[in-house]
Amino acid sequence: MFDNLSERLNAVLDRLTRRGALSEGDVDAALQEVRRALIEADVALDVARTFTDEVKKRAVGVEVIKSVTPGQMVVKIVHDQLVEIIRCGVPGGTAMPHFDKFAWTKGEECFGMTEADVGDKKPPNPTAGLQKREIEAIVAYLEAKIVGKGPPTVADCEEYFGQGSGRCRDMAAGRKQ
């Protein structure tokens, strides 16, 4: 399942980065494929929809920096959206919590909204808060170690969680996380 998601996301981004200019149709087609890949990987429909909707809002009509291609700009937008989803969670009553304890507070908008805008649809509070640099590190890890690779191995687990981690012992024993 994860192999397929990684391969499909990489294929979509590779096609976009090879283009000299992107139309709204290019972005729509790519995001439709991304949404389908996320749903097939058991990502909740509302999370997949929020992710692709936010990427589209940012990608369509964005002024591309002269030194990068439109496809590279889309890769940056996807990166920024991963950061925002981990930082802010997904509004709308999903189980996806936010991990920045200041997310949704005054002056810290998420998805262009404040806590007052989302009301009772605010994502649940995190069980553990993360600082912005930690959220960036998680996204960097995902981009460097997971996207385009097969399922994680015990060695990958130990590299991330540390030698002797209970999660990694469970993984080695074949128990579900």
Blockwise average pLDDT, block size 10, the chain, 177 residues: 62 65 73 79 77 76 57 75 83 72 78 82 80 85 68 79 84 69
How far, in Å, CA of 44 to CA of 41, rounded?
9
- Contact (CB, 8 A) for 128 and 99: yes
How far, in Å, CA of 117 to CA of 132, rounded?
23
How far, in Å, CA of 77 to CA of 95, rounded?
24
Q: Quick one: pLDDT at residue 177?
A: 45
2-146 placed in CATH 1.20.120.140: yes
Domain map (residue ranges) of the chain? 2-146
Tokens standing for residue 146:
């997971």
